[in-house]
Amino acid sequence: MKKFKEFIVKTEPFTVDLVSSVLWEYDIAGINEQENLLIVFADENSLTNKAILESALSKLADEKVINSFTVDEKIIEDKNRNEEWEKGREVIKISNKIIIKPSFKDYTAKDDEIVITIDPKISFGTGGHESTKLILLLLEKYINGGEKILDVGSGTGILSIAAIKLGAASSVAVDIDEWCYDNCVENCKLNSVDKQVDIIKGKIDDVSQNNFDLVLANIQKNILLYIAQEIRVKVKKNGVVILSGLLLRDEDEIVKHYQSLGLKFLEKEIMNEWLAVVLSKF
């Protein structure tokens, strides 16, 4: 049975958004937010270890962002990791239209609600994190019907699934992580959109298609900067790019970089410390 590293991270004060954003910069597979701690998962072969995470948190302490922290590490088996990850999974109301739920929770749709079933395991994209919520809210605005979508760093596949259910014609979901690929396949089948979502294990360069109406990327800032040119190539003229996974402090650097490549800033949405920006290729 496959094994994973599990890190229990506690900080004082417990600044969830900031600490999570720092931890996502490392080679981890997922973060489970609890009431007063974070459960961080990494592949057994990941270079991420207790010392690396302690070093990252020490920098926050030096900057007086947090006062103290603890990190505990252990190896867990796949079965135990799944059980831990499912703790606290609830039905999430994103808006009056979009509802996210795990398969083991019952929910009956009301009126025009779209119910998306996501069993996240350790793939990023449960619907609970602000960065995911921001894109989902923007999808309601920018999908009018019949769009061709590219979902970069697709994780659980939640954005592709939502796009199809909102009326998009097709989506290409690409993620470099094998676990994310498998989880995306499972979730697309759960939501009966597997015929409309082409799932690729790889990088954006491995996507052969171009001229996408809408490109979505909910990824850490440095990666969004690194793949900016590839995103520009993939989106069609007058097409839309929605970027998330960003903190408020990332706005200027991201917007200026994408503008330098010929994309026009349209708008931004903010939720707590997190930011999503919308751009268009002209």
State residue 120's pLDDT score. 65
213-237 average pLDDT score: 95
DSSP-derived secondary structure letter, 120: -
156-171 average pLDDT score: 97
CATH number where 265 lies: 3.40.50.150
**What total number of domains does the chain contain?**
2
What is the pTM (predicted TM-score) of this model? 0.80
In degrees rounded to 5, what are phi and psi of residue 260? -65, -20
Most confident of 36-50, 119-133, 214-228: 214-228
SS3 198: strand
* Strand locations in the chain (E): 3-12, 30-33, 38-43, 68-77, 92-93, 98-101, 114-117, 148-152, 170-175, 197-201, 212-218, 235-247, 263-271, 274-281
Looking at the structure, tell me whether residues 31 and 140 fall in a common domain.
Answer: no
Whether 116 maps to a domain, the answer reads no
Looking at the structure, tell me whether residues 65 and 130 fall in a common domain.
Answer: no
Tokens of 82: 């799944």
Q: The domain containing residue 61 runs over which residues?
A: 3-86
Most confident of 21-30, 56-65, 91-100, 253-262: 253-262
Contacts of 25 (CB under 8 A, 6+ apart): 56, 220, 222
pLDDT tens for 110-151 read 888 999 998 866 555 666 788 899 999 999 999 999 999 999
Confidence of residue 85 (pLDDT cuts 50, 70, 90): low
Looking at the structure, tell me whether residues 158 and 268 fall in a common domain.
Answer: yes
Whether 108 maps to a domain, the answer reads no
